[in-house]
Amino acid sequence: MSRNDQLFERALRTIPGGVNSPVRAFKSVGGTPRFVVRAEGPYFWDADGRRYIDYIGSWGPMIVGHAHPAVVRAVQEAAARGLSFGAPTEAEVAMAETIVRLMPSIEQLRLVSSGTEAAMSALRLARGATGRRKIVKFEGCYHGHADGLLVKAGSGALTFGHPSSAGVPAEITQHTLALDYNDAQQLEDAFRRHGDDIACVIVEPVAGNMNLVRATDEFLRTMRRLCTQHGALLIFDEVMTGFRVAAGGAQSLYGIEPDLTVLGKVIGGGLPVAAFGGRREVMKHLAPLGPVYQAGTLSGNPVAVACGLATLELIQAPGFYDRLAAQTRRLIDGLMAAARQVPGIDFCADAVGGMFGIYFARQVPTNYAQVLATDKARFNAFFHAMLARGVYLAPSAYEAGFVSAAHDDAAIEATLAAAAESFGAIARP
């Protein structure tokens, strides 16, 4: 029995499913999860000592690669000064100033510890600021595991075929309207029926939890127009896309300013930091200025903030995003070229900045239903073929992948060589 098998068997005795987040369990793809011992650059090593090219990167935060020396040094120096204070620090102010400068739609923000906490708080703020009850979300978009948002969600909930979670009372979700992603007409209809009671619309401008799915320009512009017209707030969930697809997030690519933005992942650089922020006139409703309450003992933790600030400093280097996007495009173009060499495989791929999606389908999906129609069995076979060749993809057909600045030409070339072999292996009967 391998060391990974031993650890998983041991974990099953004390941890539900043997993992602390559902998608890690390999339940969708089958097999034993890899227990990571260490990571550096674009690689990690498992408990059996095997090295993998990592295309998860802690689900997005490791944009500069694992264990970047400047980031590690910043964390070590901060830890030496103290692990937590429960009081303000200058670093928190610097983090807020950096984000406000890079994302002009944000005039003020509040730091928290997780994307779930940030999205949950943004929704409460939207309801408090507007005095309304209803929220609009979209099938396949995931905004954390708060009760009111687990309505036809993506991510792990989608992976296991349970779009809504047990334990969530119907009276909590009755004010959540779940619409089809990229369907502008459904938005028009929803606002025509409920416009006076819609507090906000929350959306991933580039979805990453039903695999990578881009929003259309028409969809987002219709959303912005309707929110403005009816006095609702537009919330961009950029937990994945913020500082991952561009320095200004997906909103800078689309040229649309949301009223509130939810951030996470990259702003923590691998440690738990998230944030929500937006226009000053909305943020003034948040305690201690206003009546909308939110608090957190570890919000703005000095070690986590130091990690995030060091990461944000690195991504502002000239040409950083051009190089990242080029390597990501090289990866997906190479994957599609390799698939074309093997008859009988429907395969396509897409990328935005440092995020990518692979789909066993003829066309890139544009909504939740199309993602569900992709060939999951073929993906599972490909996942294990790549894993056997030292390439670690997301263990689910419904998750985006991530490239870091540390994925150099050697890592990409090794990945494409593994892919050529893997496509051939899964095509054989």
Give start and end residues of each alpha helix (H) in 357-408: 368-372, 376-388
Tokens standing for residue 29: 């793809």
Do residues 366 and 175 lie in contact, with contact meaning Cβ atoms separated by under 8 Å?
Answer: no
Q: Is the pLDDT of residue 413 over 70?
A: yes
The residue from 55, 142, 368, 398 that is catalytic is 142
Q: What is the pLDDT of residues 10-26, one digit of tens each?
A: 999 999 999 999 889 89
In the structure, what pLDDT confidence band is assigned to residue 267 with cuts at 50, 70 and 90? very high
- How large is the average pLDDT for residues 183-199? 95
Predicted confidence (pLDDT) per residue in 214-247, tens digit: 999 999 999 999 999 999 999 999 999 999 999 9
Name the catalytic one among 237, 321, 350, 368: 237
Asked about 142 being catalytic, the answer comes back as yes
Q: Which amino acid is at 158?
A: L
CATH superfamily, region 3-67+318-427? Aspartate Aminotransferase, domain 1 (3.90.1150.10)
Q: What is the pLDDT of residues 70-107, one digit of tens each?
A: 999 999 999 999 999 999 999 999 999 999 999 999 99
Domain map (residue ranges) of the chain: 3-67+318-427, 69-315
Contact by Cβ (8 Å): 349, 332: yes
- To the question of domain 69-315 being in CATH 3.90.850.10, the answer is no
Whether 293 sits among the annotated catalytic residues: the reply is no
Instruction: Pick the closest to residue 401 from 202, 181, 274, 240 (CA basis).
Output: 240
Long-range CB contact pairs, 1-10, < 8 A, 24+: 2/32, 2/47, 2/48, 3/35, 3/46, 3/47, 3/48, 4/32, 4/33, 4/34, 4/35, 4/46, 4/47, 4/48, 5/32, 7/35, 7/47, 8/32, 8/33, 8/35
- Which one of 137, 181, 265, 350 is the catalytic residue? 265
Q: Is the pLDDT of residue 162 over 80?
A: no
